[in-house]
């Protein structure tokens, strides 16, 4: 089967003959104007790739890796004490606008080991010009900005309670936005601080029943065993207490087995 060409042969011949003298965008514009057929940059880019035509770089740029003769010597001469922007400006002033970009200068310096010794960091002890100054408020900004100590109209007061999406209740304990879980607060009010590694859980499995009689303190190893053995939600507080005892025995047995194997 003959290969299908999306373009007439005259367009193919024209681009093959003149393509290397123009950038992809310029050739797309020329073809659109000359043959009355709109061609986008992407279409012309594909044409160049499929027909192995090498395009001229974009306007104002030289070919990659090819800079005017004398570029290295000139850059070594002007680089000391100058920033990348200053070096770029001087190179383009010497060899023509668009010869090198800032990123090309950076790469050229690195590849040719040209050191400028320019340090753009603030020296130690530098004091910013605007230190301690407050930007002046103007117009409507002065009328609508929050004043110091202002509280939004929808702010929750201390002691407010909300129910999270996971069912747990949170209590606001301080401004501006400090919250704690209610069941932990209730436990601490009755029993003091929760020890490190301790978890306060609900005996009936209901996270909104924060009555002290429904709360129990377990450690993380027991919590892991409850989950592994699928006995966390036993259906009643009494059954939960039994499940905790089973989980504690299992956790302790696991620790002893681990210690025994470790001491062999």
Residue whose entry in the numeric block shows the structure tokens 């939960």: 240
Where are the alpha helices (H) located in the chain, listed in sequence order? 9-18, 24-35, 41-50, 71-78, 84-95, 102-111, 139-144, 182-191, 220-228, 237-262
Confidence at residue 145, expressed as pLDDT on a 0 to 100 scale: 75
pLDDT value at 70 more than 50: yes
% of the chain with per-residue pLDDT over 70: 91
Would you place residue 211 in the very low, low, confident or very high pLDDT band (cuts 50, 70, 90)?
Answer: very high
**Residue 231 or residue 185, greater confidence:** 185
Encode pLDDT of 184-199 as tens digits: 999 999 999 999 989 9
Contact between 55 and 48 (Cβ < 8 Å): yes
| Lowest pLDDT segment from 5-9, 26-30, 244-248 | 5-9
Mean pLDDT is highest, among 2-16, 24-38, 142-156, for 24-38
pLDDT value at 1 more than 60: no
| Lowest pLDDT segment from 88-102, 133-147, 157-171 | 133-147
Contact between 154 and 162 (Cβ < 8 Å): no
**Residue 160 or residue 255, greater confidence:** 160
Query: How far, in Å, CA of 146 to CA of 143, rounded?
Result: 9
Residue-range domain boundaries for the chain: 9-50, 181-262
Instruction: Show the tokens assigned to 89.
Output: 């400006």
Q: Can you tell me the mean pLDDT for 188-211?
A: 91
State the chain's mean pLDDT as an integer. Answer: 83
Confidence at residue 234, expressed as pLDDT on a 0 to 100 scale: 59
**Residue 47 or residue 143, greater confidence:** 47
Encode pLDDT of 71-92 as tens digits: 989 999 998 988 889 999 999 8
């Amino acid at each position: 089967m003959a290969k299908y060409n999306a373009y007439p042969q005259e367009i193919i011949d024209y681009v093959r003959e003149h393509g290397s003298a123009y950038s992809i965008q310029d050739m797309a514009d020329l073809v659109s104007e000359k043959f009355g057929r709109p061609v986008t940059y992407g279409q012309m880019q594909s044409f160049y790739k499929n027909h192995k035509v090498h395009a001229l770089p974009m306007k104002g740029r030289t070919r990659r890796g090819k800079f005017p003769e004398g570029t290295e010597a000139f850059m070594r001469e002007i680089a000391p004490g100058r920033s990348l922007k200053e070096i770029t400006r001087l190179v383009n002033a010497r060899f023509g606008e668009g010869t090198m970009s800032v990123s090309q200068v950076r790469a050229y310096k690195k590849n040719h080991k040209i050191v400028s010794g320019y340090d753009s960091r603030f020296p130690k002890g530098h004091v910013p010009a605007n230190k301690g100054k407050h930007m002046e408020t103007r117009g409507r900004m002065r009328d609508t900005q929050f004043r110091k100590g202002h509280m939004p109209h929808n702010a929750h007061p201390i002691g407010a309670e909300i129910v999270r999406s996971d069912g747990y209740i949170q209590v606001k304990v301080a401004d501006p936005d400090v919250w704690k879980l209610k069941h932990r607060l209730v436990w601490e009010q009755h029993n003091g601080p929760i020890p490190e590694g301790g978890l306060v859980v609900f005996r009936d499995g209901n996270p909104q029943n924060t009555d002290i009689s429904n709360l129990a303190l377990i450690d993380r190893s027991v919590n892991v065993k409850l989950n592994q053995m699928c006995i966390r939600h036993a259906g009643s507080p009494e059954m939960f207490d039994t499940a905790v005892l089973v989980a504690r025995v299992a956790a302790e047995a696991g620790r002893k087995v681990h210690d025994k194997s470790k001491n062999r």
